[in-house]
């Protein structure tokens, strides 16, 4: 087995071969291996039908009827196995999005390059074998081109670029759930300046206005130094800060958790422009969010507090979360003999602030006494 090959993928290929089928590793894993990167996504293409694939393995799930893809479970690994797009491997690779993703591999033949994908890899070129048909059949591939530009820093070949420009309007009909994945990948890439030049060339601001791609946004990203952000939340926050709005969070189906975190960082960053962290604002923000805001400031070459300093200050706070408070909402209700309501939340926040600012010790009797006194 090749050292870069996942053993579960190897077993999957072997099983298909034993059953008399052609089977090849295809796409991103081969590309990444040739680029000297650690392959992550291992996909297999075969001349077996979905039904025949399912018959070869104990546990499978049909996940894509259109592309005839079956998810095969090998131990803890999930491997996507798809039937050829066409009758042969040649038909399959010619139907794929870009030549750099059309490279196949087998133990017997090694890397199989039927569309000059290795040459395009060497030339750092993103090229489609049939540009017009490729972009017209699935316009999301235009966004995929942008993501690959951002990830690898490659250039788009002229005929492929023209096809992207011609069929960019088709992005309006692409499901937003599919766009989200490509958009996040683009924002997390190291070569965003090239990717945004590409987006400007296809006039994405006219096709999908909810991205709020103003001339200013294009300018900032095109002139930005090469920097990558490792988390979805950080990448989205940076984009919203440059765009000057969080509207994109409403336009695209991000998870509620991501929306909440991005909106919080967006607000905290703007608050931090006007003031340093007080004990209370640091407590309200939480350790991880405060650190993230300072990292955003550091990347913008603004005055910032070090991570160690933020951690040290947070450790010294009398409490780190509401659960540390020695008085609960239930305690308050019993002490006041009142029905639950919004007053409980307000009272607890008042007590949290008093403890953080060391106005009162975090002791139940002291907290009750303080609350009664302040409520008079």
At 277-294, the pLDDT tens digits run 999 999 999 999 999 999
Q: Please give the average per-residue pLDDT across 112-130, as a whole number.
A: 97
Predicted confidence at residue 40, as pLDDT, reads 86
Predicted confidence at residue 246, as pLDDT, reads 95
Predicted confidence at residue 224, as pLDDT, reads 79
Predicted confidence at residue 4, as pLDDT, reads 78
Residue 35, number of CB atoms within 10 A of its CB: 12
SS3 195: helix
Q: Positive or negative CA dihedral for 310, 315, 320, 325? A: negative
Residue 376 scores a pLDDT above 90: no
Predicted confidence at residue 375, as pLDDT, reads 83
Predicted confidence at residue 86, as pLDDT, reads 92
Residue 239 scores a pLDDT above 70: yes
| Rounded Cα gap, residues 355 and 349, in angstroms | 10
Residue with more model confidence, 68 or 295: 295
Residue 68 scores a pLDDT above 90: no
Q: Please give the average per-residue pLDDT across 163-176, as a whole number.
A: 97
Predicted confidence at residue 15, as pLDDT, reads 95
- Domains belonging to the chain, first-starting first, are 1-123 (3.30.460.10), 329-374 (1.10.246)
The two tokens of residue 50 are: 């979905």
What's the residue count for the chain? 376
Do residues 273 and 301 lie in contact, with contact meaning Cβ atoms separated by under 8 Å?
A: no
Predicted confidence at residue 1, as pLDDT, reads 58
Confidence class for position 230, pLDDT limits 50, 70, 90: confident
Predicted confidence at residue 72, as pLDDT, reads 95
Predicted confidence at residue 298, as pLDDT, reads 94
Q: State how beta strands 69-74 and 77-83 pair.
A: antiparallel
The two tokens of residue 88 are: 């042969």
Predicted confidence at residue 96, as pLDDT, reads 95
Beta bridge partners of 105: 25, 111
Predicted confidence at residue 170, as pLDDT, reads 97
Biggest distance spanned by C-alpha atoms of the chain: 85
Confidence class for position 266, pLDDT limits 50, 70, 90: very high
Confidence class for position 5, pLDDT limits 50, 70, 90: confident
Predicted confidence at residue 7, as pLDDT, reads 87
The helices-and-strands tally (H runs, E runs) of the chain is 21, 9
Predicted confidence at residue 82, as pLDDT, reads 95
Q: Please give the average per-residue pLDDT across 345-361, as a whole number.
A: 96
Q: Please give the average per-residue pLDDT across 95-121, as a whole number.
A: 96
| Rounded Cα gap, residues 98 and 55, in angstroms | 31
pLDDT tens, residue by residue, 137-163? 999 999 999 999 999 999 999 999 999
Residue 344 scores a pLDDT above 70: yes
b/e sequence 127-152, b meaning 16+ C-beta within 10 Å:
bbbbbeebbeebbbbbbbbbbbbbbb
Predicted confidence at residue 13, as pLDDT, reads 94
**Residue 351: which of 332, 337, 376 has the closest Cα?**
332
pLDDT tens, residue by residue, 12-66? 999 999 999 999 999 999 999 999 999 988 999 999 999 999 999 999 999 877 7
Residue 126 scores a pLDDT above 80: yes
Provide the mean pLDDT of the chain. 94
Please give the share of the chain, as a percent, with pLDDT higher than 90. Answer: 90
């Amino acid at each position: 087995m090749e050292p870069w090959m996942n053993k579960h993928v190897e077993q999957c290929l072997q099983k298909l071969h034993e059953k008399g089928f052609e089977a090849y590793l295809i796409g991103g894993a081969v590309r990444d291996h040739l680029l000297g990167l650690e392959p992550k996504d291992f996909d297999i293409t075969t001349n077996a039908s979905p039904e025949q694939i399912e018959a070869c393995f104990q546990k499978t799930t049909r996940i894509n009827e259109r592309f005839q893809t079956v998810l095969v479970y090998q131990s803890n690994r999930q491997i996507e196995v798809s039937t050829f797009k066409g009758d042969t491997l040649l038909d399959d690779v010619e139907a794929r999005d870009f030549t750099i993703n059309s490279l196949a591999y087998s133990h017997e033949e090694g890397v199989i390059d039927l569309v000059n994908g290795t040459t395009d890899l060497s030339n750092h070129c993103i090229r489609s074998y049939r540009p017009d048909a490729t972009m017209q059949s699935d316009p999301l591939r235009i966004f995929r081109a942008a993501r690959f530009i951002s990830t690898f820093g490659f250039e788009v070949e002229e005929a492929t670029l023209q096809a992207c420009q011609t069929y960019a309007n088709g992005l309006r009909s692409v499901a937003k759930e599919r766009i989200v994945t490509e958009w996040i990948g683009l924002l997390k890439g190291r070569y965003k300046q090239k990717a945004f030049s590409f987006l400007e060339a296809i006039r994405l601001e006219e096709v999908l206005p909810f991205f709020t791609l103003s001339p200013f946004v294009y300018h900032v990203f095109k002139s930005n130094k090469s920097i990558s952000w490792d988390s979805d939340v950080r990448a989205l926050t940076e984009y919203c800060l440059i765009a000057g709005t969080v509207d994109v969070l409403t336009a695209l189906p991000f998870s509620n958790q991501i929306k909440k975190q991005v909106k919080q960082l967006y607000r905290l960053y703007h608050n931090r422009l006007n003031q340093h962290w007080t004990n209370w604002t640091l407590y309200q923000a939480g350790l991880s969010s405060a650190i993230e805001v300072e990292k955003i400031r550091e990347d913008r070459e603004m005055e910032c507090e070090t991570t160690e300093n933020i951690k040290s200050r947070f450790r010294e706070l009398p409490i780190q979360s509401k659960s540390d408070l020695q008085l609960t909402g239930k305690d308050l209700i019993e002490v006041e003999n009142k029905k639950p309501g919004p007053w409980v939340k307000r009272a607890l926040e008042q007590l949290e602030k008093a403890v953080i600012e060391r106005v009162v010790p975090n002791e139940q009797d002291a907290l009750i006494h303080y609350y009664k006194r302040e409520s008079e």
